[in-house]
Amino acid sequence: LFLVGGRKGALVPTGMQNLAESGVDFIREGIIMQTIGPEGLRKRWVVPLLTSMFFFIFFCNITGIIPLIQMPANARMAVPLLLALMVWVIFNVVGLVNQGPIGYLKSSLFPPGVPKALYLLVTPIEFVSTFLVRPFSLAVRLFANLLAGHILLVTFAVLTASLWVAQWYAVFTPL
């Protein structure tokens, strides 16, 4: 998409260039500015990473609505697990680079605003949730959402087919 869209590099985009530029603009304005803020745009790797991940997930999932395929790639556990592990590694590396090892561990394990007496309880929970459970949590959320969407599409397709061969209540099929 981006190789074809960026081939001409016209000042006024048309066709595929317009589609590619609209996609990048959506990532910049709709995702990065809304969640990270302007500092996300100052880092050179954020826009390409999020754009490639967004379009990879989009094109993997669009197969879920194509007849006879109807199974998105992310509805299999391997792809979401790989994406989650990649994001988890990037998350931890960026945290270590920006805050240093001690500062990163301090901000990860000792959340601000928690009373000091509760740190004995909160610190192990934060360690397990941040460093051990997070990649699997991310993978399961993506996998479960896409599998549920796939199951809903197949269910409605089967129900529509069964209504179509029925007699008088075929009028309910469009609903």
What global pTM score does this model have?
Answer: 0.76
**How does 21-30 read in b/e, with b if 16+ C-beta sit within 10 Å?**
eebbeebbee
**Mind listing the pLDDT tens digit for each residue in 38-50?**
988 888 899 999 9
At residue 62's C-alpha, the angle toward residues 160 and 46, to 5°, is 150
In one letter, which amino acid is 11?
L
**Which residue in the block uniquely carries the two structure tokens 């985009």?**
13
**Mind listing the pLDDT tens digit for each residue in 54-112?**
999 888 888 877 777 777 788 788 999 999 999 999 999 999 999 999 999 999 999 88
pLDDT of residue 89: 94
Residue 25 vs residues 17, 39, 49, 53, 63: alpha-carbon distances, Å: 12, 16, 14, 15, 24
**Mind listing the pLDDT tens digit for each residue in 82-98?**
999 999 999 999 999 99
Q: Any idea what DSSP says for residue 12? A: S
pLDDT of residue 175: 67
Report the distance separating Cα 78 and Cα 74, nearest Å. Answer: 8
- H or E element in which residue 90 lies: helix 78-109
Contact 72, 146 (CB under 8 A): yes
Whether residue 3 has pLDDT greater than 90: no
